[in-house]
Amino acid sequence: MNILIMGMGYVGVTTALLLAELGWYVTGLDPNESKIRMLSHGTLPFYEPGLDELLRKHLATRRITFTSESDTAVYDNEIIFLCVGTPSGNDGSADLQFIKEAAESIGMRMQGYKLIVIKSTVPVGTNEQVVQWITQAQTSAIPFDVISNPEFLREGSALQDALEPDRIIIGSENDQATVLIQTLYKKLSSPVVVTKPKTAELIKYAANAFLATKISYMNELARLCTKMGVNIADVAVGVGMDHRIGPHFLRAGIGYGGSCFPKDIHALRFAAREHDVDLTILEKVVQVNKTQAVYFMDIWEQLLGSFTGKTIAVLGISFKPDTDDIREAPAIGIITKLLENSAVVKVHDPIAKLPIHMLSEQLQQFESVEETMQDCDAVILCSEWKQYIAMDWGQLRSRLRQPYLFDGRNMLDGAKLTSQGYHYSGIGMSMG
């Protein structure tokens, strides 16, 4: 069976490489020719640990090829995965323009049976919509099936998540199509849930929204912890040991970011409003997330005296470690607020880069942590890259004008840093 993956973004490339690793012959299709050239030469268009090796491996095994030619790509492949983007529209709804274009392109070009697998995160009802778009684009009636198979990959650990998923969700109403997709994944030992397409579509949104809810709950509780002199990280350990709750996604910090949680929660709330249902919990989840960094920046500003006129080092601008993705990254909001307060901001990240249009005399990005911290009045840690945890903070202290260290991810050893002379403060911990 030959497989086509439409959309060579983060999900598409990871899915393509997973299927190649599972032994299938895969073609990656994207209209962006420079991206196709990069991939064909073994270079990823984004940073993701482990994927580049797998790309080079399967270029060598010839199980993966890349193209911008839709005609032959659709003709040659029986199974087609839709991995195109579904960005937020102005009203918060998911914009299905790329899904529609892909569906129409398949409908126009198909000359034999196709199984279309929707992997992109799409609103409930999209599966039916794709069936309609394909049917309308067909010049003669040719059979096809559309199934939903949402992804649960995390940036930074996509490869591991792809190879060992907690579950495989298949939304299908056709037994033959279900068997076909199960065959693709037969080497994976994960449990498979076969359900209706609409249910599969909602599972994806519900999972992301629930994870974001856990984070916002802990983030709000962290505010109370600060007032009570209790450490939120210790609370998380005790709470997470209850197997009904679980230890994951209880890390308080400056808020969640990325291309998924913010967008998907907006889309779910939009869909709910269309059905006259108000998802009030999610409204609060978003509100806590929007105000979390500002809440703790106010506390840090009090400790420092003022941000105005100060030089502040911001370490880690990606929305989480092991990615170069700065979409909706809390660090960007923090930098913006510092600039509004007339602070000079010096930025470092192991991989991610600030867009050039943001840079100015007041905001610069440096290659090394040493240069970044030189003559700063405070350091704010925004993403928990391993490098930052492992570095010699004792030595770095001498670079600073004032040794204020604000840990937006609670990732450092506060007691040790205090003994090294830092004024250390994190999220949801005793101020004393």
Which C-beta is closer to ligand UGA: that of 154 or that of 353?
A: 154
Binding region for ligand UGA (CB under 6 A): 121, 151-155, 208, 211, 215, 249-251, 253, 256-258, 260-261, 264, 319-320
Which C-beta is closer to ligand UGA: that of 58 or that of 320?
A: 320
Which C-beta is closer to ligand UGA: that of 222 or that of 400?
A: 222
**Which of 70, 66, 77 has its CA nearest to residue 12?**
66
Q: How far is the CB of 113 from ligand UGA (least distance, A)?
A: 29
Tokens 């037994």 belong to residue: 175
Q: How many CB atoms lie within 10 A of CB 67?
A: 19
Determine whether 260 is an active site residue.
yes
Distance CA 355, CA 335 (A): 13
Distance CA 215, CA 250 (A): 6
Q: How far is the CB of 413 from ligand UGA (least distance, A)?
A: 19
Which C-beta is closer to ligand UGA: that of 65 or that of 120?
A: 120
Which C-beta is closer to ligand UGA: that of 88 or that of 420?
A: 88
Please report the DSSP string for 204-233 in residue order: HHHHHHHHHHHHHHHHHHHHHHHHHT--HH
Cβ-proximal residues to 217 (8 Å cutoff; 6+ apart), any chain: none
Distance CA 284, CA 307 (A): 29
Q: How far is the CB of 361 from ligand UGA (least distance, A)?
A: 29
Distance CA 251, CA 248 (A): 8
Q: How far is the CB of 231 from ligand UGA (least distance, A)?
A: 15
Distance CA 106, CA 114 (A): 9
**Which of 83, 225, 260, 376 is the catalytic position?**
260
Q: How far is the CB of 325 from ligand UGA (least distance, A)?
A: 8
**What are the catalytic residues?**
260
